[in-house]
Amino acid sequence: MPLFGDLAENKTVSGNPKNWLYVTHVRGQNGNGGQSILTPPAGIHCVMSDGSARWFAYDDDPKRSEMEPCIRVPGNSDPGFYWGKPNR
C-alpha cells in the first residue's frame, strides 16, 4: 500500500489538451511550487507501507496504468490527483 510519494494531478478538462500539474521543490510558473506540463508523467515514486519505495508507471489506458485517480474535487470536471494503485 502506498503511503506517500510524488504527486501528479491531471487537470485536463473536456475538449482541452492534456494538462498535468507536478509538485516540484522549486517555485513553478503558477507560484506555488508546481509546474504545469501538457504531457502525462511516465510514472511516480511512492513509499510503501513496509518502508520500501516503488515506481508506478502511468498509461493512458486505465487497465494498463499502475496509477489511478485518488482525489477528485466535487463539481470539478478534471480527473484529479493520481496515486499508485495499491495491491488489491
What residues have CB less than 8 Å from 75, skipping those under 6 apart? none
Q: How far apart are CA 44 and CA 23, in angstroms?
A: 11
Average pLDDT over residues 67-75: 76
Q: What predicted TM-score, i.e. pTM, was given to this entire model?
A: 0.71
Residue-wise pLDDT tens digits, 18-63: 677 766 555 545 555 566 677 788 888 889 989 999 999 989 898 9
CA-wise closest residue to 37 among 57, 62, 8: 8
Q: How far apart are CA 17 and CA 21, in angstroms?
A: 13
